[in-house]
Amino acid sequence: MNLEKSNYLPVDALRRKIAGCRLTTSSFTPDFSPGELFSEITACRIIKENERRQIYYLETPQNGFFLKFSTLVRPKDRWRHFLLPYRKWSEWRNLHRLRNAGIAAAKPVLRGENKEPRPKMFFILTERVKGLPLNLHTAADTHKIGEYAAWLHSRGIYHRDLHPNNIIVTCEGQNRLIDVQQVFFLPWIPRLLRVHHLGKIYVNLFPMTGGARWAAEFIKGYNYKSNKSVSLAELTKAAARHQRKKFSSRSKRCCRNSTEFAVVKKAGLKGYQRRSFQWGLQDLRQALKKGHALKGSHVISYQGVCVKRHPRRRFHKDRCLISWKMSRALQVRGISVPTSLGYFVVDNISCFLSELLVDRIHLNTYLSSISGAQSKRRALKKLAQWLRKIHDTNIWQRDFKSSNILCRDGDYFMVDLDGVRIRNLSEQNKIINLAQLNASVSNALTVKDRLRFYHYYTADHHRTRQQRRAVYRKVWDITRTKNTSTFNLDIEKLWIHYP
């Protein structure tokens, strides 16, 4: 847990919050006294605080403690705990079972709940584990975590939420588990479940960055300690499935109440927004009335916010809602887009609000401004790798032209997101995107520059020269069918200067 960026809570406020609760001490600390703890606390840091979950770090001279509160706010949470009372103290029981089984984990100290027939608030107190969260830098580290996963499986332990922040590495190099609410003890772990679990662990350890080398080392370490080996192909397939589910789950958070987003239901105003963005109905109406046009009359800017508006029509898709969802989908996939701020419906007009990139320039302007050959090569390589990443994450932009790409400080941002779709891309889809980009870049990019861009794009996928040439020919065949005069591109003049 990150202790650097945290606020502080008065100790007396925390004491009042716990006062009057039913308390139970752990068998590992039978002589523990809450009164003595509060007399030793030097500071109380807020790690996480929302209406459902609060986590505090209590600083003491000898060691620290983590205090985790859970509040049953939603009716479905109260029903869930009423029907499944075993869930309430699952982390408390798991910590005891892990330590009794000889598996290093955080030390439970105290638990409590408010004195009601059906308590709505409960908490647990655990000792802080001294160390740092797991950080994998070398292949040897990946091999060791594979061995650790095999060791957990051999003990019948299935941790559904095993990721680097839930593993603390002590000064002695020992792995200790924290946040063990989703740990299950099974007498036997079937092969399909083991493969499923390994795929999830791998995705959590290497989010969008794990290559074939890391996967090979991870599975090599697992097979070294496990009696039943798992192949690299099985791990890769399971990891890809979990990655898709993770992307989908995180993308949908923008349309529900969460830590980062909120559902807006007010008189005359409905939609979604970031919790840090505080515009209301009057602010939006002022923006629609006084905003400056950026791209036609449907895209305006107002007070550092870009507003895209479209009238809502029956039997037509809401383009602003699509932009809101796609902005979040691209963000969780690591594709740079202007930060989305909100989606609102007001007076039968849908509006998508995003960050206004003040010092942005269009792709054509940026590439035309580069004079040095080496600087242009670096810019083209970065653009090719950015497009490759877009295609590798199954992102399809139906209108992929240079005017929909903005540049700032050498970074590329995709805009006009209502044409973006998440789908399985064919080679023809990728070639069409390449042709759209090729037809919308001005004569400032020579034929050599374009061929160099294609080489960077296809370097790791079409290894032979014949394969790359086949892609080039298809791209140029489609380019010649498009209207390029809008983007100051004359194909015939371009080829005249090609040696």
pLDDT of residue 198: 93
Structure tokens at 374: 């080496």
For residue 369, give every residue at least 6 positions away whose Cβ sits within 8 Å of its Cβ, in sequence order, or none: 361
Structural contact between residues 490 and 497, judged by C-beta atoms closer than 8 angstroms: no
Q: Check pLDDT > 60 for residue 88.
A: yes
Q: Check pLDDT > 90 for residue 196.
A: yes
For 390-404, what is the mean pLDDT? 90
Per residue in 217-246, pLDDT (tens digit) is 899 999 998 888 899 999 999 998 998 999
Q: Check pLDDT > 60 for residue 216.
A: yes
For residue 340, give every residue at least 6 positions away whose Cβ sits within 8 Å of its Cβ, in sequence order, or none: 254, 274, 323, 324, 327, 328, 331, 352, 353, 354, 355
Angle at which helix 191-205 crosses helix 212-225, to 10 degrees, equals 140
Q: How many whole angstroms separate alpha carbon 175 and alpha carbon 190?
A: 25
How many CB atoms within 10 Å of residue 250?
A: 15
For residue 110, give every residue at least 6 positions away whose Cβ sits within 8 Å of its Cβ, in sequence order, or none: 23, 24, 25, 26, 29, 32, 34, 124, 125
Q: How many whole angstroms separate alpha carbon 216 and alpha carbon 179?
A: 28
Q: Check pLDDT > 70 for residue 4.
A: no
pLDDT band for 1, please (50, 70, 90 cuts).
low
For 34-40, what is the mean pLDDT? 85
pLDDT band for 209, please (50, 70, 90 cuts).
low
Among the residue ranges 176-190, 372-386, 461-475, the one predicted with the least confidence is 461-475
Structure tokens at 494: 């371009």
Distance, C-alpha 410 to centroid of its chain: 23
Inter-CA distances, 454 with 1, 219, 245, 276, Å = 43, 34, 31, 41
The domain 132-253: what is its CATH number? 1.10.510.10
Inter-CA distances, 452 with 438, 469, 472, Å = 12, 12, 11
CATH number 1.10.510.10 given to 361-496: yes
Structure tokens at 170: 């002590």
Burial class (CB in 10 A: 0-12, 13-18, 19+), 43: middle
Q: Check pLDDT > 80 for residue 461.
A: no
Picking from 206, 338, 340, 203, the residue whose alpha carbon sits closest to that of residue 260 is 340
Q: Check pLDDT > 80 for residue 491.
A: no
pLDDT of residue 251: 92
Q: How many whole angstroms separate alpha carbon 42 and alpha carbon 64?
A: 10
Fill in the amino acid letter for 428: Q
The domain 258-355: what is its CATH number? 3.30.200
Burial class (CB in 10 A: 0-12, 13-18, 19+), 4: exposed
Q: What is the pTM of this model?
A: 0.83
Picking from 373, 375, 361, 405, the residue whose alpha carbon sits closest to that of residue 387 is 405
pLDDT band for 284, please (50, 70, 90 cuts).
very high
Q: Give the pairing of strands 108-114 and 65-71.
A: unpaired
User: Can 7-127 and 361-496 be said to share one CATH topology?
Assistant: no
Per residue in 315-341, pLDDT (tens digit) is 888 999 999 999 999 999 999 999 999
For 56-75, what is the mean pLDDT? 90
β-partners of residue 299 are 308
Residues of the chain with pLDDT > 70, as a percent, come to 96
pLDDT band for 173, please (50, 70, 90 cuts).
confident
Superfamily (CATH) of domain 7-127: Phosphorylase Kinase; domain 1 (3.30.200.20)
For 189-195, what is the mean pLDDT? 93
Structure tokens at 404: 């929909």
pLDDT of residue 444: 80
Structure tokens at 268: 């005359």
pLDDT of residue 211: 63
Per residue in 361-383, pLDDT (tens digit) is 889 889 888 888 899 899 999 99
Domain residue spans in the chain? Answer: 7-127, 132-253, 258-355, 361-496
How many CB atoms within 10 Å of residue 440?
A: 24
pLDDT of residue 348: 87
